[in-house]
Amino acid sequence: MAEVNNQEHTLELEQYTIEQIPLDKRHGRYRDLFTIWFTSNLMPLTIVTGALATVLYKLPFVNTTLYEGPIARHLGGTDISWLVGSVVVGTVYYTYAKWEANAKLTTAYQADVEKADVEKVDAT
């Protein structure tokens, strides 16, 4: 891949929209895109839910050689932490997904209402 001086092209408009960029016009490396990809796919809910499910919800139900949770001890040593963790995390994700879907529907509905209002004003 040929090296291109980017300084001379900083204020230039994009010439290629959806078309494929010729090989001689390409610049950069794949690793330069890591930050963009990583930050857009980083979801704080995933990290928080994973940490809470592991520590708070599964720990009382764990039965290992190092630790036996109080509920696992009461159940005769039965380790049901995987079941509790799955139910809790599934419920949290389902609730969040429903909330996000409702937010998107509300936004889409508001956009349709505003569009109808603009059309109504233009018609009069």
Of the two residues 14 and 20, the one the predictor is more confident about is 20
Average pLDDT, the chain: 76
Q: What is the pLDDT of residues 105-115, one digit of tens each?
A: 676 666 666 66
The torsion angles phi and psi of 16, rounded to 5 degrees, stand at -110, 120
Q: Rounded to an integer, what distance in angstroms lies between the CA atom of residue 63 and that of residue 82?
A: 11
The string of DSSP letters for 52-113 reads HIIIIISGGG-B-SS-B-HHHHHTTS---HHHHHHHHHHHHHHHHHHHHHHHHHHHHHHHHH
pLDDT attached to residue 119: 65
**Does the structure show a pLDDT above 80 at 122?**
no
Is the per-residue pLDDT at 5 higher than 60? no
**pTM for the complete prediction?**
0.44
26 CB-near residues (< 8 Å, 6+ apart): 1, 4
First to last CA, the chain: 58
Q: Mind listing the pLDDT tens digit for each residue in 63-107?
A: 888 888 899 999 998 888 888 888 887 888 888 888 877 777 676
Name the residue with higher pLDDT: 70 or 118.
70
- 67 phi and psi, to 5 degrees? -150, 140
